[in-house]
Amino acid sequence: MKKLILAIFFLACGCKLFAFNSDDAAQELLHTAKVQADLFTKDAKPFQLDVDFVAQIKTPLQGHLTLKWESDDHWWRKVAMSDFVQVDIRNGEKQFTSRNASFTPVKIDELIHMLEFAERPERSVKTAKNKVENGMEIACLRSERKEIEIHDICLNSASHEILRDEWTLGEDEKRMERYSAYSDFQAYRYPRKLELLSNGRKMITATVTSLTMSAFDQGLLVPPQGAIERRHCKDMTEPVRVKGQQPEYPASASQNRVNTDNAVVFTIATDGSVSNIHLLRSSTQAMDDAMLEAVKAWRFRPAMCGTEPVVSDLTVFLSFRFH
């Protein structure tokens, strides 16, 4: 039997999701841990964050990220990896992106997502278990969001530091983010080392080289010429696919029983149409073609700021599995 699994992650649209009711004590434990580590709040004073990282693509690629932050709607960020360079600017509801390539590598999005681990929307805690690992008492919480994957989040019971976040991507990829070497900064505790693993293999290793209070230069908010402009509002809703089919497993791949993972990024216009499609993760030509042809035919209910449709960018991961 041929089976195609579709996993969609809104890495770029910054959409807000809402949690369900759950056990109050466990929910409060997770909330406390997140608040303690969340640098990116309205109460934080301006700071600069510098991170060295290594991303495993075909070969290990070294990179550096600098974030100059004043508030959640006033910040400047530059990330470089090998020959790729991207600058993002947030000024009010507008975000500007300037880069020297036609798309952002998926590892850059994953790095940023990992650094913002404590800022993610609250999850509903379904179960909690206490145990001891290496002499440390930890609490592991099973949590979920509606129609989103289930996560197992483990915390240091004494310090409330988040140690790891585990989930399954697609059908068979086990992912884990690990956070360690916490230190105090302002009223927060933030990890100095962060890792992303896929089936036990390190995909990104990030080291915080500097985290310091720093006055914010307002001149950084001026976007460079030619920058891509997007609107982001506080209660922005995600785009929803309303037309188009999932890609079919290519007949040419059936005899070889190929299993593979693809990723694509594209822009969704205010009328729900799709454009600016780019492969982020390629596999066989047949599967790449099947995915691109399917995405071209997709139509969406666009992202919304209140009653106003807005342009958004979406990253989609597709897993082809032969059974």
- Which CATH number characterizes residue 245's domain? 3.30.2420.10
- 192 lies in the same domain as 274: no
Structure tokens at 90: 């947030």
Question: Which of helix, strand or coil describes residue 290?
Answer: helix
Please tell me the predicted confidence (pLDDT) of residue 6: 41
| Bridge partner residues of 179 (DSSP) | 194
Q: What is the mean pLDDT of residues 213-235?
A: 94
Rounding to the nearest 10 degrees, give the CA dihedral for residues 155, 156, 162, 164: -60
Mean of per-residue pLDDT scores for the chain? 86
pLDDT band at 22 (very low <50, low <70, confident <90, very high): very low
Q: What is the mean pLDDT of residues 187-211?
A: 97
Would residue 200 count as lying in a domain? yes
Would residue 14 count as lying in a domain? no
Would residue 130 count as lying in a domain? yes
Structure tokens at 304: 């919304």
Q: What is the mean pLDDT of residues 268-278?
A: 94
pTM above 0.75, yes or no: yes
- 210 lies in the same domain as 135: yes
**Rg of the chain taking only CA atoms, in angstroms:** 20
Number of separate domains in the chain:
2
Checking if the pLDDT of 80 tops 60, the result is yes
Structure tokens at 205: 């290793």
Q: Looking at 13-27, 203-217, 255-269, which range is the least confident one?
A: 13-27
Q: What is the mean pLDDT of residues 272-301?
A: 85
Neighbours of 79 (CB within 10 A): 22
Whether residue 270 contacts residue 302, with contact meaning beta carbons closer than 8 Å, is answered with yes
- 58 lies in the same domain as 198: yes
Neighbours of 120 (CB within 10 A): 14
- 266 lies in the same domain as 307: yes
Would residue 105 count as lying in a domain? yes
Nearest to 53 by CA among 63, 43, 42, 45: 63
Q: Please tell me the distance from the alpha carbon of residue 175 to that of residue 168, in angstroms, as a whole number.
A: 6
Neighbours of 126 (CB within 10 A): 14
Nearest to 95 by CA among 112, 76, 82: 76
Q: Please tell me the distance from the alpha carbon of residue 172 to that of residue 319, in angstroms, as a whole number.
A: 9
Question: Which of helix, strand or coil describes residue 17?
Answer: coil
* Euclidean distance between the first and the last CA atom of the chain, given in angstroms as a whole number: 5
Instruction: CATH number of the domain at 111, please.
Output: 2.50.20.10
- 53 lies in the same domain as 126: yes
Whether residue 300 contacts residue 239, with contact meaning beta carbons closer than 8 Å, is answered with yes
| Bridge partner residues of 190 (DSSP) | 183
Would residue 13 count as lying in a domain? no
Q: Please tell me the distance from the alpha carbon of residue 28 to that of residue 124, in angstroms, as a whole number.
A: 10
Half-sphere exposure of 73 (CA within 13 A, CB side): 9
* Eight-state DSSP code of residue 247: P
- 52 lies in the same domain as 85: yes
Q: Please tell me the distance from the alpha carbon of residue 87 to that of residue 220, in angstroms, as a whole number.
A: 10
Instruction: Give the domain extent around 202.
Output: 19-229
Q: What is the mean pLDDT of residues 214-234?
A: 94
